[in-house]
Amino acid sequence: MFCKLHLSFRTVLQRALTGAMALCLVFLTACSDPTQKWSLYDVSGHLPDLKFSLLGEGNKVITQADLKDKTVLMFFGYASCPDVCPTTMAQLTEVLEKLGDQAKDVRIIFVSVDPHRDTPDMLQAYVNAFNKNAIGLTGSEKQVADLARRYRVAYQIEKPKPGDDAKIYDVTHSRGVFIFDKNGRARLLAPDTEKVDVVTQDLRQLLGLTTFVKD
C-alpha cells in the first residue's frame, strides 16, 4: 500500500488508513447517487472540489483554473518512487490510450510530496516519459502538505540513515487516483489496484455526462 515503507511506520499508518477507508466506504455506499452505476468509489459530495496552487515546468504557477473544462486524474507520489508511481503513470497512460479521442479532455496531474528533490522541471520530464499531456506539480512543504490534507492523503519523508547523503532518504505515501469532472467536482476514487478497463469504463461514463449538479 506504500512506497518504501519502514515496518514500524507502515504498521501504524496502514491501520489508521484501513480504518478510515472502511468507514469511508460504508459512508459512500450508503450515500452514492443511485442514478449512476460506478465501478470505482463514488466520492461525489464527500471530497472537496479541485483547488490548488503549485509550481509546474519553468516554475510557472499552475492552479485549477488552468484545467478548466478538463476531467482531471490526480495522484500523489514522488519521482524516485521505485514501483507504485511509475506503475500508476503507466496505467493511467494506458487508460487515456483506450479513451481514444476522448483523451483530449482528460489531464493526468502528478503531485510530488518530495519537494526537496523533485523540481518542477524534473517532474515534467518524468511525466513526459509516459504522457506528453500529463502535468507534474510540486510546491513548498506547506503547499504540498495543505493539498494532501485537503484530499486526506497521508505521507511522510523519512530522515536519511546515519552516514548517508542528505538527499538519500525514503518517502512513504498513501495511494489512489482522485478523479474530478470537467467542473472540478470530486467524483471518483480509483484504487491503484483497479484494472485499466474498469477505470476506462467509468471515465467514459463521466466524460459522457453533459450536465453536473451545481451548488
Which superfamily is assigned to 7-208 in CATH?
A: Glutaredoxin (3.40.30.10)
Q: Identify the pLDDT of residue 9.
A: 39
| pTM for the structure as a whole | 0.80
Q: Identify the pLDDT of residue 67.
A: 97
* pLDDT, tens digit only, all 215 positions of the chain: 335 433 333 433 444 444 444 434 434 443 445 567 899 999 999 999 999 999 999 999 999 999 999 999 999 999 999 889 999 999 999 999 999 999 999 999 999 999 999 999 999 999 999 999 999 999 999 999 999 999 999 998 887 777 766 677 888 888 899 999 999 999 999 998 899 999 999 999 999 984 344 44
Taking a C-beta distance cutoff of 8 angstroms, is the pair 64, 52 a contact? Answer: yes
Q: Identify the pLDDT of residue 92.
A: 97
Pair type for strands 53-56 and 60-63: antiparallel
Cα dihedral value 26, 28, 31, 35, nearest 10:
-130
- 27/35 Cα distance (integer angstroms): 17
- 75/134 Cα distance (integer angstroms): 11
Q: Identify the pLDDT of residue 158.
A: 80
Q: Identify the pLDDT of residue 34.
A: 54
Q: Identify the pLDDT of residue 192.
A: 86
Domains in the chain: boundaries: 7-208
Reading the block at residue 190, the C-alpha cell is 480509483
Q: How many C-beta neighbours within 10 Å does residue 21 have?
A: 17
Q: Which amino acid makes up residue 176?
A: G
